[in-house]
Structure 1
């Protein structure tokens, strides 16, 4: 790319209010503004065979993400970053309950990608109290597998902000390395499943303690910027930033399992949220920009 071409590209980005809040790589893969709808984000449904009752309990608790105006009881609707709507992921009102929204793509090039988003997280405002420890965690993950000629493994980088656990204040970032246990689904031995968001196996990200804006009452929200760079060639992270903080990912490890049939060139992205109280936890995503250096 010539200097003049890059200058034109940068000028076009800066002139677009929806894109200029992001810092995308050269090619934008998708820009999801949830004022336009769900933009391909859907419920993470677990594998099943013959009956929905064969689904693992972790997946059976999931429900569909919805478009939301961030309604609340004391002032009506908060709205999104700069529109009326955001994508809302809501747990069930049970301590430890989780929910996930996923976007399923395939990769056309194995190189660096950038995952950017504006998000905010709150418990359901069912009490006249702050509830700053009522959300246990929120985060995101990728689910990746290269093409059929090269893939030897399925790679699943996970990052979560562990806000609290059993009411204890924690406020730190964690990642999940290693492998997860697979369970056969049904009786034909053709389907297996694993719940990779189980509470075990999380590791603290070095220097990952972070205090983030959590406004003074349970109905107020502030939007947070996050950015994760990952190389699809080496299957290694490149950088991780949240608001004004950049974290060291040199020791970061992903969940890795052998490559699986039918998942060639898989490029999946997901957000998740978990509650620490007997009330729903909400993760709101205003917009997402996924880009690549190709």
Structure 2
């Protein structure tokens, strides 16, 4: 009966959720809780680390372009648009902030696509450096082994104009820095360019259409166990990747982030041109 109900709903039948759907974000209904990743600050916005200061708000977009108007989403008019500034190496992040009620397996599924801003009459397939996603997790205050765990995965599309096309993960962050003078706030920029490692056999050629305004939607699925704080599986389109060598950024638990369950998407530019990551829909499900 459950399977029949899922398959009867076109917006859910494209996903393969675990027994309980935690959130289903269809951006034809609005931002669905996804917002700008604002860095920590105290007393003055200028205390924010530079990596966070570059971030701007995600937008709802019809995927407009100059040659044919609007592309639209997977099956509606809108998708979530995460746009960088027009500067080589610029990044932007959108985040959804939740908490969990049980440490269990969770599944993160999404349909996404990416493009540079179409400012030239050429393919521009190497103008986006990377797109990816991350979780920001922490155990509950009653967990004796609680730590903050941040799995990161990115598709490195290009680097310094060279097409790369491979998946990478990260287990190192930058040094924590105190923010302000009260010893209450720390910050670290975990999307700094250093420390990325290749997913074993992680090379993949994604669909990137023949002119700079065409797009095709790509499916991804990431399974993670909140009990063991370990990745279980990663799939992109028809490829399932070996995650045996994967690990996450791991840092001591922080005093006010108990049961944190955050998800984020990010984009990065490889030229002085805006990079766009579009997300049509997201389904987060769990086994509880």
Structure 1 stretches of 4+ moved >3 Å: none
Instruction: Report the CA distance between 1:178 and its aligned residue.
Output: 3.3
Q: Is 2:134 the partner of 1:141?
A: yes
Give the match for residue 256 of structure 1.
250
Q: Is 2:82 the partner of 1:89?
A: yes
Q: Check the 8 A contact 2:154/2:167 in 1, yes or no.
A: yes
Residues 142-183 of structure 1: per-residue CA shift (max 9 Å, x gap)? 000010010531000000000011111110000001343101
Q: Is 2:104 the partner of 1:107?
A: no
- From 16, 22, 27, the counterpart of 1:29: 22
Give the match for residue 177 of structure 2.
183
CA–CA distance in 2 between the matches of 1:280 and 1:47? 25
The count of corresponding residues between Structure 1 and Structure 2 is 287
Q: Is 2:261 the partner of 1:267?
A: yes
Residues 23-63 of structure 1: per-residue CA shift (max 9 Å, x gap)? 00000001000000000000000000110000000000000
Q: Is 2:58 the partner of 1:68?
A: no
Q: Give the aligned CA root-mean-square deviation in angstroms.
A: 0.6
Q: Is 2:104 the partner of 1:120?
A: no
For normalisation by structure 2, the TM-score amounts to 0.99
Query: Could you say what secondary structure the match of 1:67 adopts?
Result: strand
Instruction: Report the CA distance between 1:190 and its aligned residue.
Output: 1.5
CA–CA distance in 2 between the matches of 1:169 and 1:119? 19
For normalisation by structure 1, the TM-score amounts to 0.97
Query: Could you say what secondary structure the match of 2:178 adopts?
Result: strand
Residues 74-101 of structure 1: per-residue CA shift (max 9 Å, x gap)? 0000000000000000000000000000
> Which ranges in structure 1 are unaligned for 5 or more consecutive residues?
1-7
Instruction: Report the CA distance between 1:186 and its aligned residue.
Output: 1.3
CA–CA distance in 2 between the matches of 1:17 and 1:31? 13
> Which ranges in structure 2 are unaligned for 5 or more consecutive residues?
none
